[in-house]
Amino acid sequence: MPNAQAKEAASVSINIRAKARQRDLIDQAASRLGRSRSDFMLEAACREAEDVLLGQAFFTVDEGAFAKFQALLDQPLPPTDKLRWLLKTKAPWEK
């Protein structure tokens, strides 16, 4: 029986269908990064999968910890020069 390390190193095939324009877009992006289509797609898919799973994390806290957490959310932070600057700064796409 293979150990966990050998199982991790084993490659498996993942097949998907795509439209030609989707493939071309992926190829163009992968090429810009000097990556293969497979490497680019696998990294992007894994990154998205991690985001989905992390976004669905569930945890529990006792009543006291929740009350402290809620109190922190209810108290706005005091204004600072950095915050004022940030709020006045245009986003890069607005420039």
List per-residue pLDDT tens for the chain, 95 residues long. 556 666 677 889 999 999 999 999 999 999 999 999 999 999 999 999 999 998 888 888 999 999 999 999 999 888 899 989 998 999 888 87
Long-range pairs, 86-95, Cβ under 8 A, ≥24 = none
User: Which pTM value belongs to this model?
Assistant: 0.54
Contact 21, 28 (CB under 8 A): no
CA dihedral 76, 77, 83, 87 (to 10 degrees): -10
